[in-house]
Amino acid sequence: MSASALHRYWHENGAGPSARGKAPFALVTGSTGGMGEEWALQLAALGFNVIIQGRNKGKLETVRSQIHKLAPDADVRLLVTEATVYPNPALTEGLAKLLDEPDVRLTVVISNLGVNELSYPKLDEQSSESVAGIVLANAFYPAEVARICLPHLKRHEPSLLVTVTSIGCWAPPPYLSPYCGTKGFDVSFSRSLHNEMICEKRQVDIVCMVPGQVSSNMCLEPVSRMVPTSADWVKAGIASLRSTWWTPRPGAVVVPWGPHAWGMFFIAWAPAFMVNAIARSKVVTMRDEYLAANAKDK
């Protein structure tokens, strides 16, 4: 394995003789596109075996072959689950079964999956099913992934659970209320669990990672300093997990991409009316463009 901020989680600790001597596993949710696909590719290139999750088996098979081009020896296992349903036996039973395999030693979880309504609808024009889907996928799903993975992460510590939130929950724009609300859940959930691991004297590092806009299927903005490619953002995400001289544990909330970190600094110190006005104007413009493009298509 090449030198990386992830060396803390690439070790041979763990129960079971069959687990010894074999590379640890990383689980990546939402790995059939955007940042999730990049997490899977970059973790495999760094020497991890990977469990990739998606709702479409064909897309997962394509990601598996891309991983094998980069890392021919990687053990790649698939978890096919839809995220917007409850109850969700494909997740609860499917994931538990994968993690119980004697040769799976889980040390990294990247809870990346996120769902958004791309048409910027008014809240009272959204269906109950659509709101439920966003809450289930962005809040309940990462909480369930954490609950199911935690015993395994404790058994194979030091280990890592990253949950991906959004800068939008610090400067919530209009027409995205269920999405921003659930991303706020991810922040408080992670911070509480981070503190729980410290109280329990566990070496399970809990990190909430904050992207601003990143080029992907969810964000079609042109690439720029403020809108990195998914590959560049994930590279920065991995580097941000590096330990510091005062602690081996990464922080509870990290903003890996420099220009996004400046944005967070501005949000923290600028007057709220200014932050809200900027959040409104940016998304109103994006919504107008979306509505105009869709009207043209009809």
Spell out the residues 6+ positions from residue 3 whose beta carbon is closer than 8 angstroms to its own.
none
The H or E element that residue 107 is part of is: strand 106-111
**Residues in binding contact with ligand NAP, number by CB under 6 A:** 29
DSSP state of 138: I
Stretch that binds ligand NAP, among 18-26, 41-49, 154-162, 214-222 (CB under 6 A): 214-222
Site for ligand NAP in 147-166 (CB under 6 A): 164, 166
Q: From CA 190, how far away is CA 194, in angstroms rounded?
A: 6
Structure tokens at 20: 């010894």
Q: Nearest-5° angle of CA 192, CA 110, CA 60? A: 145
Q: From CA 213, how far away is CA 38, in angstroms rounded?
A: 16
Stretch that binds ligand NAP, among 97-105, 213-221, 266-274, 282-290 (CB under 6 A): 213-221
Q: Which of 14, 24, 36, 228 binds ligand NAP (CB under 6 A)?
A: 36
Stretch that binds ligand NAP, among 11-19, 110-118, 277-285, 289-297 (CB under 6 A): 110-118
- 178 counts as binding ligand NAP under rule CB under 6 A: no
Structure tokens at 255: 């903003």
Comparing CA positions, the residue from 17, 254, 40, 55 lying closest to residue 141 is 55
- 240 counts as binding ligand NAP under rule CB under 6 A: no
- 32 counts as binding ligand NAP under rule CB under 6 A: yes
Residue nearer to ligand NAP on the CB measure, 18 or 188: 188
Q: Which of 219, 254, 261, 283 binds ligand NAP (CB under 6 A)?
A: 219
- 214 counts as binding ligand NAP under rule CB under 6 A: yes
Q: From CA 118, how far away is CA 173, in angstroms rounded?
A: 13
Please give the residue ranges that form the binding site for ligand NAP (CB under 6 A).
Answer: 30-36, 54-56, 59, 82-84, 112-115, 137, 164, 166, 211, 213-214, 216-219, 230
